[in-house]
Structure 1
Amino acid sequence: MGEAVTAPASLIPPFVSLSDLIHGHARERPDALALSDGQQSLTYAALDAQMDRIAASLQRDGLRAGDVVSVCAASSVRYALVFVAALRAGIVVTPLAPSSTAASLCSMLHDAEAKLLFLDAQVAALLDAASDTGEQAPARIALDDSDAGQRFDEWLADAGSAPASVEVQPQHPFNIIYSSGTTGTPKGIVQSHAMRWAHIQRGVAYGYGPDAVTLLATPLYSNTTLVSFFPTLGLGGQVHLMAKFDAENYLRIAERIRATHTMLVPVQYQRIMALPSFGQFDLRSFQAKFSTSAPFRAPLKADVLARWPGGLIEFYGMTEGGGTCILEAHLHPDKLHTVGKPATTSDIRLIDENDRELPPGTTDVPGEVVGRSPGMMTGYHRQDAKTREVEWFDVTGSRFIRTGDVGRFDADGFLTLVDRRKDMIISGGFNIYPSDLEAELRAHPDVADVAVVGVPSEQWGETPVAYVVRAADASCDAPTLKAWYNARAGKTQRLADLRFIDELPRSAIGKVLKRELRDLYLSASN
């Protein structure tokens, strides 16, 4: 695998919808396996036929191109079916996180104006607890054949049913992905068919194709999963879904199915590599392993490279789009501390605190990362003001998306992330990047994991505090560890407090929920 991430023009036509790509595979390779979840499997012929039935059912219920349906359930073949089938009818899909609060789910369903909700029993119980919201709830279809709604098989049109043809254009909305909502009201990120098409095009360079066997252990509501899911199906490979991640079971499945591709978040790599039994599994079938969504520490990347066959590729970008950096770690083992170089189709720049672009070629000077590419969101659903907040325009008027991350380019054009702009701590007028403090703390043998957050301070405005997960054989107490760190830190980077915690709170895709840590600290201090 080389540097290029753009598919050769001879291999990919100008634009084909995902639905048409799947139909083509069903025609050319009807018996090839398309989807499996350990309970149910579908060939491309069966997938195509089921997509027709579901699309016809949606049209029967009065849904038209541009309408929205939502899916909120554990990952399964049926979940995947509904997602791709809705696209055949020109319908926009909003996948939602079952881990959301009931109030948040109701809010997102209302904001998306979903006409139907495909769910399971667990989500139904959650929503029923919030039935007094007063908002009109969409009709429910139960994916798991429970009493969560009308049973899927009863709702589904007869075998052989076909939908009315819908012509999909690149600019049409494909899906709405809601932000996590951990820092406020979730925002609906509208992604177009063109954006997903760009992901499929990129997939050719990484070996996605008819021989690809992709194992996915992250949820289907996450863009992390979808950037691997759609290229696999679009280019004719197999997708194997895990409803719940378990490190040893993941390895067992990977060995059995001879997985060639996977997408994992860093905390999953960490748990897999920590298994004493890791070396017992035959993983030689792997061609490409991907990661995104959360910081991927250099030592962990090095461990994956040393012990897990196949390439390791890290994507850095946002669900909103706006450009991607790619680190092909197996080709650049001296750049593991970076997130790679801008993709060939991406324009990544840095701007200062006054929104002025840093001069091209500037190295080792931090700035906020902004980017543009063919894979950019249309905007936030029904939130024009929020959309404008994340847009930045250069002197030519070209539109970029702000990432909120602070980074710096090195002399070779590789991007190193310094920290999240919103996580930066301003203490006594000095900018403190929590990632610097966390890196120093991880050097202590008693520290297994750590997160540093800023909390209010009457004297300094903000001051840093650390939450530490101790290593299994740790003997150091909190005051001693704090003193050890502060003796090594600059005056402005010293910790005001350090506390132990059993496990850092994380989202389903592995991001540390720093807001929860701040709230925990403030509530414990009052």
Structure 2
Amino acid sequence: MHFASLPDDRARSVPDAPAIGDDRTDLTNRELAARVTAAAGTLADHGVGRGDVVAVQLDNRVELVVVLFAAWRLGATVNPLNPVLTGAEATHQVLDAGSVLLVTADGTGPVADVTTIGVDDLTSSSAPELADPSADDLALLIYTSGTTGRPKGVMLTHANLDAMTASFIEWLEVTEADHSMLVLPLFHANGIVLGTLTPLRAGGQVSITGKFSRDRFFADVERLRPTYFSAVPAIYAILSALPEDVHPDTSSLRFVVCGAAPMPAELISRFEQRFDVVLVEGYGLSETTCASTINPLHGLRKPGTVGLPLPGQQVAVVDSDGRQLPAGEVGEVAIAGPTVMVGYLGKPEETAESIVDGWLRTGDVGRFDEDGYLVLVDRVKDMIIRGGENIYPKEIESVLYQHPDVLEAAVVGMPHDVLGEVPVAFVARRPDATADADDLLELCRERLSDYKLPVSVTLVDELPKNPVGKIDKPTLRTTVTSA
């Protein structure tokens, strides 16, 4: 499907049913369609047309979703920006995308050569007709987080969104009865696709709760009664560390999803048992529109794996020559199918390096187990080579997470004059923890070969995070490199 018509379709079908809300407003299907039409008129009044790019830099709020549908109504593409980008970072992204208009909260923005409007301006009385839709229309330009260089624009079409949302609806059994509580950022594929478009396509509704807050999260669950939400491991770790006397009512939740980074099996079990909810871990990238594997809702779920390939997608583990490897052998994860991006905007060489013979080479290291579940070993770029021996930080982190005092752990490589690199660990502990660095090193000695042992464990109050909530290993590497 082409998502430009979705608001109108919902309004015709059940006009007074709830569609989307945030802390400021709640919209029915009829009201959402009207807001989208008015916003599309405003964009058209500013010269936006088919093939143009509209940038939007907003905190999580209803207007961001309205701009998505409004731009798509005109046949335009949306470039969502992280609201905390610096002026220089935002300028690079807006200009690199070729954006002709920027939407911000108050109508001011950092890009001098691009017209900027505010959310209060999205009220035109003109009502442009729906542009002749094509599945090949570019829907989104999602910029990578830039941990390996300057951010790149991932080009996703309406065909990509169609395939991804259909896959989610089938696998997670999403219906008109479902209600997504959105806490992840709407400048990221997970928030847009799983958190918003999937329930809306299925006839359900979305509640946007704004920036994650430990102290209000479960109050929102009890107030809104969602049937699912998606979050990152850091959020689940924070929630699992709430005081033991916190017992929220989670009975409305059918399941919750974890993505963006591997989640330790111990943390999954701890969260499920404490809050009486099914947690399914998945795996994907912006380059595959959101997710490619997820543990099933029914049948065998395997904490510590990222599940089975989603409907319509092919997932393989390959060697350096692209040959598919059998179960049990470790190689690079590769993905093919209708959710794979068109490519990186304006970067044909990098696109050709990433997509080989139709397969996206992810840069992630993994293996399939005997039941066909994908086990992530690590990132290719995160691998540490210590005196010729390959060390995958995730293996060390998994051991550290087995200690009940560990809230979060990250292992990176530190340069070494003789060995090339050695592993060092950073750990944030739970409140009232008593374990010290020596205790954690002793746990590693019990369960890891000598060459895998971290040379140090540094205790920190909190591990740094990137904008999508992943532990920011590049920052940690900078710390140990400059030490």
Shorter-chain TM range is over 0.9
Q: The residue matched to 1:239 in structure 2 has which SS? A: strand
1:312 aligns with 2:276: no
- What residue ranges of structure 2 are gaps of 5+ in the alignment? none
Amino acid aligned to 1:285: S
- Give the drift of 1:236: 2.0
Change in CA separation of 1:67 and 1:473 when aligned onto 2, cut-off 3 Å? same
* Residue 291 in structure 1 maps to residue 276 in structure 2: no
**In structure 1, which of residues 195, 202, 212 is the aligned counterpart of residue 178 of structure 2?**
212
* Residues in 1 aligned to 2:264 and 2:253: alpha-carbon distance in whole angstroms: 21
Say yes or no: does 1:232 pair with 2:232.
no
Distance 1:77 1:446 in 2: 39
Partner residue of 2:147? Answer: 182
How many residues get paired? 480
Q: Residues 487, 252 of structure 1: CA spacing in aligned structure 2 closer, same or farther, 3 A cutoff?
A: closer
TM-score (norm: length of structure 2):
0.93
1:507 aligns with 2:474: no
Q: Which residue of 1 aligns with 2:456?
A: 497
The question of whether the paired residues in 1 share the 8 Å contact of 2:405 and 2:430 is answered with: yes
Residue aligned with 1:84, SS:
helix
Distance 1:417 1:431 in 2: 15
Flag as ranges the 4+ runs of structure 1 deviating above 6 A: none
Given the alignment of the two structures, is residue 375 of structure 1 paired with residue 343 of structure 2, yes or no?
no
Q: Deviations over 1:154-200 (max 9, x none)?
A: x5312xx3103311111110110000112210000000001111122
- CA distance in 1 between counterparts of 2:173 and 2:327 reads 33
Paired with 1:99 and 1:110, the residues of 2 have a C-alpha distance of 17
Q: How far apart, in 2, do the equivalents of 1:208 and 1:446 lie?
A: 36
Letter of the 1:185 partner, please give it. R
* Distance in 2, Cα, partners of 1:476 & 1:165: 61
Look up the SS of the partner of 1:426 in the other structure: strand
Task: Please state how far the C-alpha of 1:491 moved relative to its aligned partner.
Answer: 2.8
By how many angstroms is 1:34 displaced? Answer: 0.8
Q: 1:56 to 1:497 in 2, by over 3 A?
A: same
CA deviation string 1:345-381 (max 9, x = no partner): 11111112x324134xx12210000011211111001
> Structure 1, residues 456-507: CA drift from partner, whole Å, max 9, x if none?
1110111111112234334454456446534653232122333222111112
Residue of structure 2 aligned with 1:52, choices 37, 42, 50: 37
1:358 aligns with 2:324: yes
Matched, 1:413 2:355: no
Q: Partner of 1:454 in structure 2?
A: 413
Q: Write the distance in 1 (CA, Å) between the matches of 2:443 and 2:368.
A: 32
Unmatched tracts of structure 1, length 5 or more: 1-15, 129-134, 144-151, 394-398
Find out whether 1:301 has 2:297 as its counterpart. Answer: no
2:266–2:402 contact (8 Å) kept in structure 1: no
Q: Secondary structure at the match of 2:480?
A: helix
Q: Which residue of 2 aligns with 1:146?
A: none
Q: Take 1:410 and 1:211, find their aligned partners in 2: how far apart are those partners?
A: 35
Report what 1:172 is aligned to.
Answer: 137
Contact kept, 8 Å, 1:63 with 1:115, in 2: the verdict is yes
Matches within 5 A, 1:250-289: 250-276=217-243, 280-289=247-256
Matched residue of 2:200: which SS?
helix
**Cα distance in 2, alignment partners of residues 310 and 474 from structure 1:** 26
Q: CA RMSD in A?
A: 2.2
Match of 1:116 in 2: 101
Offset, 1:207:
3.7
Please say if residues 7 and 69 of structure 2, whose CA atoms lie closer than 8 Å, have aligned partners that are also in contact.
no
1:348 to 315, 333, 336: 315
Q: Deviations over 1:295-344 (max 9, x none)?
A: 122122223333445543332111101871121266324x2111111123
User: Secondary structure of 1:328's partner?
Assistant: coil
One-letter amino acid matched to 1:60:
D
1:63 aligns to what? 48
For normalisation by structure 1, the TM-score amounts to 0.86
Contact 1:305 1:330 in 2 (8 A): no
Listed as ranges, the matches of 1:316-331 within 5 Å are 316-321=283-288, 324-328=292-296, 331=299
Whether 2:60 is the aligned partner of 1:96: answer no
Question: Counterpart of 1:104 in 2: which secondary structure?
Answer: helix
- Tell me how far apart the structure 1 counterparts of residues 260 and 327 of structure 2 sit (CA, whole Å): 25
Q: Tell me how far apart the structure 1 counterparts of residues 217 and 381 of structure 2 sit (CA, whole Å).
A: 34
Task: Specify the alignment match of 1:157 in structure 2.
Answer: 124
Q: 1:227 Cα shift?
A: 2.1
State the alpha-carbon separation in 1 of the partners of residues 305 and 458 from structure 2: 29
Contact kept? 2:155, 2:345, Cα under 8 Å? yes
Does the alignment pair 1:391 with 2:355? yes
TM superposition shift of 1:257: 2.0
Query: Is the CA contact (8 Å cut-off) linking 1:272 and 1:278 kept in structure 2?
Result: no
Question: Which amino acid in 2 is paired with 1:331?
Answer: G
Shift in Å at residue 75 of structure 1? 0.7
Secondary structure of the corresponding residue to residue 287 of structure 2 = coil
Listed one character per residue, the Cα deviations across residues 260-295 of structure 1 (whole Å, up to 9, x for unaligned) are: 121122222222233237753222122232221111
Give the C-alpha shift of residue 415 in structure 1: 1.0
**d(CA) in 1 for partners of 2:431, 2:165:** 42
Alignment match, 1:140: 116
Distance in 1 separating the partners of 2:190 and 2:169: 18
* Counterpart secondary structure, 1:156: coil
Q: Quote the Cα distance in structure 1 between the aligned partners of 2:47 and 2:469.
A: 39
Q: CA deviation at 1:79?
A: 1.5
Q: Structure 1 residues 467, 254: closer, same or farther in 2, change over 3 A?
A: same
Deviation at 1:439, TM superposition (A): 1.8
1, 10, 22: which one pairs with 1:25? 10
Residues 17-68 of structure 1 deviation map (CA, whole Å, 9 limit, x = unaligned): 2222321110121111111102111111111111111112212211111100
* Contact in 1 for aligned 2:209/2:220 (Cα 8 Å): no
Question: How high is the sequence identity, in percent, across the aligned residues?
Answer: 35
The DSSP-based 3-state class of the residue aligned with 1:407 is strand
Partner of residue 394, structure 2: 435
Residues in 1 aligned to 2:24 and 2:51: alpha-carbon distance in whole angstroms: 32
Aligned to 2:187: 221
> Partner letter of residue 264 of structure 1?
A
Distance 2:244 2:16 in 1: 35
